[in-house]
Each structure stands twice: as C-alpha cells, then as structure tokens.
Amino acid sequence: MASRKVPVVSDSDKKILVCGETAGRTLDSMTIEAVACAERAAEMTGASVTLALPCADVHEFDIMSGGGINVIALTNPLLKLYSAAGYIAAMERAVRETSPELVLIPGTSRGNDFAPALAVRLGAVFVPGVASLKEDGGSLVFTRSCWHGKAEMELKQAPGLTVATIQPGSFAGPAHRRVRAMVHEIKIDLAIGDTVPEGEIRAVGEADSGLRNAEVIVSAGRGIGRVENLALLEETASLFARSAVGASRPVCDYGWLPYGRQIGQTGKQVSPKLYMACGISGSPQHIAGMKSSANIVAVNIDPEAPIFRYAHAGVVADLTEFLRAFIDLVREKKKTGR
Amino acid sequence: MKVLVCLCQVCDGEAAFSIAPDGLSVVPSERVAWRMNRYDEFALEEALRLKDSGIAQRVDALSVGPLRTLSTLRKALETGADDAALIRLDRPAFPAEKAGLIASHAAGREYDLILAGVMSEQGLSGATGPMIAACLGIPFATAALRLEAGPLARLVRVEREIDSATREAFTLTLPALVTVQSGINRPRYPSLSNVMRAKTQEIGIIDPAPPAAFQETPASAVYRMPDRGHAGLIIRGTAGEAAEELYRWLHGRSLL
C-alpha cells in the first residue's frame, strides 16, 4: 500500500493541497467545505486538487467531491491524537510530495492552531479566514473579514506558496456526489517531541440549553450592557412558543450565561426559524454559528454593526428601550386578539 | 520562571473609520479610543496569576506598534507587569512581520513562557502567536482555557478549546508559547500601588532592525467595505414605532 508516487488526475502543473481532518471513516464537515473551496479555486485556475489526511492508519474514506481528487494519507501511529507538531510534519511532507501553490486548511480550532506555524515553516504567505474567492488576471484573490468584522481585505495570491485557512460556513454548498477515492499512503517519521498530547476532554453534565430544538432564539451580546438586562431578553423569548435564550461569547466570558448557551464557531451552530440578535455586533466567529437561520432580526445601536449585513430585518435602536416597547406591544396585541 | 506577554492595541469596535482612497489602509476617526486587545487582557492576567502563585518571578509586557501603543503598555504595568517594552513600528504590519520582530526580541532573553491572546479583535487572524513559536522553534498551543505550571518542572499543561463542549490537553516542554482564549480567567483591575509605580516607570522603545525571519506577504492587500449583504429591512424611529414595525414584519411572516 505504501506509495511514494502521487498519481496525477489533471495534467495541470498547478496544484492545490487541502488538509483534511477525519472523524472516524468520514471526513468532518469543515474538510468537505475545504474541498469545495479547493474545487472552486481549481475551476478558476485549472489546478488539480489533492487532499492530504494526516492519520494513524489508512483506510478507505468516502469523500464528497465534484470530480477527480487525489487523496494521500500521511500516516504515523502518533497521529492518532492531534498535535500541531505532528500535523505540521505531515503537511510539510505532503507539500514536498505535491509541490502545490496553495495549501487550504479548514479554519477549525485545530486548523487555526497549526496553520500559521506551518506557513512560517514553509516560508509561505499566510492568509487566515478566507470567506470568498475570485480570480483576477490568472491569480486567486482571497477575501477575509477584518477590523472587528466591519471591513474586508482582498489579498491577491503572490508567486510561490500560500497557506490559507477557510472561515467555517463560507463554502458550504449543495452536497457533491459521493466518490470513493483511492488513498495513497505515505508513512512518515515522527518522534515524541516537546509537545505531548493527552487527547480530548469532553465537558460532562452540560445543562441542556434548549437551543437545539428551539424554533426561536433570542440571543444576547455584549451590547446588552448589564447582566440585569438579560431579564428583558428572557421576556422577549417568552413571547414566542418553543423559544430559548442564546448568547455570544463575551456574554459567557462575563459569566452572565453558561457556555452551553454560546452560539458561534466555538459554541453551538443553530438554524432556527427566527434568530433575534440583541446587542450582538456580529463577529465572523458568531456569524458562523447562526447565519443559516431562516429569519434573522438584529437589534443594535450601531448602524455599522456587521450583524446588519446578515439580518433580514434590522432595528437601529437603544436595546433596552426597544425591547420594553416591543414586549408591551406584543402583550397588548395578544390580549386584544390582534 | 520568566514570562513574556505579547499585547496588542486595538481601537474600540464601535469606533467610526473609513478606508483610505487607495484602499491600502483603514483610517479610524481621530477621536477613537485605543485600548488593550481583550484577548490579551486574559493573557496578561494568566501571567500575573503565575506570578501570584510564586511560579513566575518576572512578567514582561511587549508590543509592536506606533507610539500610541505606550498607553496599552502603561496599562499593563498598572495591572502588575514588571517591565514593558515597545518595538516601534509606525505602519500596519502582517502577523508574520510582527511575529518575526517579537521573536528576534525574545531570542536570547531566556523567557520560559510566552503568552498572548488567541487573536486580535481587530485583525481576527490568530496567527501572530503560533508564528512567534515557529520563528523561535519552540512548542506551542493556542486557545488555552486552562494553563497549569509547577515551580520546578520544565513543563506546562494546557487545555485548549475545540468547541464549547470539547477540549484537548497537551504537555509542553518549556520554553513554550501559549495563546489564551477569552474566559480562561477574570482579568483584574489595576491596583493603586501598581498605578503609582507605573507612573514613573520607563518603557523601553526599540527601533527594530529588519527582522531576519519571515516576511512573506501577499502580492497585494486592499481593504474595502463589505457588500451590504441581502439588504434587509432597516427599522429606525422611536422605540414604539420600531416595535410596531418589527411586529408587523414578524406577523407578516407568521413568526408572531
């Protein structure tokens, strides 16, 4: 099974290498997104796509792909557990094997951990958090969010090697067809170095926040100002059936709500019928957790808050004044039968 | 243990700004308030806790930026850092360049542990920390929600965040670099005695030599305002009027 030679599906010189994370025998959802992003880039530049999987042992993976894709497994028993050092060593080897111009890494917790250091090791340009792609004069142009999520930066790919991470939720599209790809194994050498992984720790007894089954989520951000104002959000939520109160990360960091209520890239990903963002500015990390909601309402005092770009209805107002008026109005309407 | 904390200065998220006509920079309004990046406040607190428990003997703060960054370093001294230094850079820089400058400064100063926030609220890249570690060739972990160190062992144990329900743990051999996720602690306020001490304390200003390390940058980097999105309904007016309009909108969609 061990093979040193990577077959070439496309005869193009240009190559894109995607780093995948595996969850058992399936690829995790962010890897599928990264492949989708790579295939979009490949359409623009005529490049071929290779998926590199650092893993402990090789087996067949089901891969969602739009077409032909090369898969290489970089194997070593130590890769059973994630470590930045292990993934960097594996991806350095994958880059030597394939000589790509672009390495795409899912913007997961782990991807964000090792990708910047991999870029330094490879002497590559690093582009974090790619949200969209376009082509300009034969080069790729990456768009990413910056300046508190209020501005965007367009970065044109330089000659040489670029390492980029992908902002979760940006390239999720219609599911590709399932292909069973041939996996070529490359055994790599690794030693236990100065980073020793212990493995995953799962939080126990996390209270059910009710977020998963809620049809309406009223969510609190830093802009609620004081913990006392949470009562207003709970009252607002109580106006709707099957509702729950969620939060952005800072509200949980302040200890105002438990982390089980956190919505975003590092919290829960939700898609209720109605998502009402109260005092949430809309960082890319938060948007990643709620942007697929059917209806998004944002209430914020700052008309430039990025959340308004995603809102189907946006209220520019002082939050507490508005919510008090809204609660009174809805109660009145309910009492009088509308 | 000797600890270095890397701090960056950001402007407030609500501050008005514009994009320069050439698109090459973001220009904040003149009255903007500059402050310490919130993620870095957690990193500084983590360093000070190591000092409180007798594990760290010394906590130094370091920033890369223009002279206005001195106010953030002053704040670090007021909060309890022993010393502070600024690598002066009057233009914006990519994380790779900042990391190269910090790594060249830290090399040879025998820091056992380098701490930083997981990302800058402004730049949102989370790259500077792991890049410093890569430049120095030391082990690292990002997004730490727990950091344990002993007084003697040349090790730290770190639990890093995968998502709200999952962490993963690592033991790193010192010297090492750890970036800190928000919520790992509750940052303290400056104490009166530290505020008094910080008033007269000098902050070293270093004019950087061009970093020997890594400076790869994209072919071009242009800022722009994002598209307006799907241009939803925008509601303004008094609280009562806005409530009425949102009610109608929700009612029209059978949501209320």
**Contact call for A311 and B232, based on CB within 8 A:** yes
**Contact call for A129 and B216, based on CB within 8 A:** no
Residues in A closer than 8 angstroms to B228, CB to CB, are 309
Q: Give pLDDT tens digits for A80-122.
A: 999 999 999 999 999 999 999 999 999 999 999 999 999 999 9
* CA–CA separation, A29 and A123 (whole Å): 29
Q: Kind and range of the H or E element at B144? A: strand B140-149
Nearest CA in chain A to B145: A253
CA distance A12 to chain B (A): 23
Residue written as token pair 């891969």: A63
**Contact call for B167 and A200, based on CB within 8 A:** yes
Whether B3 shows a pLDDT value over 90: the answer reads yes
Short-list A221, A223, A331, CA closest to B247 = A331
Which residues is A18 bridged to in the sheet? A51, A104
- Report strand pairing: A178-180 vs A62-64: antiparallel
pLDDT at A9: 47
Q: Which of A112, A284, A315 is facing B242, going by the closest CB pair?
A: A315
Mean pLDDT calculated for residue range A235-250? 96
pLDDT at B187: 96
Short-list B41, B56, B50, B31, CA closest to B6 = B41
CA distance A304 to chain B (A): 8
Q: Give pLDDT tens digits for A169-216.
A: 898 765 555 666 678 899 999 988 899 999 999 875 555 678 988 999
* CA–CA separation, B80 and B59 (whole Å): 8
Whether A66 shows a pLDDT value over 90: the answer reads no
At a CB cut-off of 8 Å and minimum separation 6, what does B121 contact?
A148, A283, B10, B13, B37, B38, B39
* CA–CA separation, B126 and B160 (whole Å): 14
Residue written as token pair 């974090």: A128
CA distance A109 to chain B (A): 5
* CA–CA separation, A298 and A313 (whole Å): 7
Residues in A closer than 8 angstroms to B134, CB to CB, are 116-118, 120-121
Q: Which letter, b or e, does each residue of B209-223 get, where b requires 16 or more Cβ atoms within 10 Å of its Cβ?
A: eebebbbbebeebbb
Residues in B closer than 8 angstroms to A138, CB to CB, are none
* CA–CA separation, A126 and B44 (whole Å): 26
Mean pLDDT calculated for residue range B63-88? 97
Q: Provide, rounded to the nearest whole percent, the portion of chain A with pLDDT above 90.
A: 68
Q: Provide, rounded to the nearest whole percent, the portion of chain B with pLDDT above 90.
A: 78
Residue written as token pair 């270095």: B4
* CA–CA separation, B236 and B238 (whole Å): 7
pTM: 0.91
* CA–CA separation, A30 and B27 (whole Å): 34
Query: What does the mean pLDDT of chain A come to?
Result: 89
* CA–CA separation, A122 and A88 (whole Å): 10
Q: Give pLDDT tens digits for A137-160.
A: 889 999 999 988 889 999 999 999
Nearest CA in chain B to A315: B235
Angstrom CA distances, A302 to A137, A162, B15, stand at 38, 36, 10
Q: What is the DSSP string of A61-99?
A: -EEE-SS--EEEEEE-GGGGS--HHHHHHHHHHHHHHH-
pLDDT at A113: 98
pLDDT at A235: 97
Residues in B closer than 8 angstroms to A145, CB to CB, are 124, 226
Residues in B closer than 8 angstroms to A202, CB to CB, are 165-166
**Contact call for B218 and A85, based on CB within 8 A:** no
Is the complex ipTM higher than 0.90? yes
Mutation pick from B42, B159, B168, B184 vs chain A, by most beta carbons of A within 10 Å, is B168
Q: Which of A84, A112, A295 is facing B255, going by the closest CB pair?
A: A295
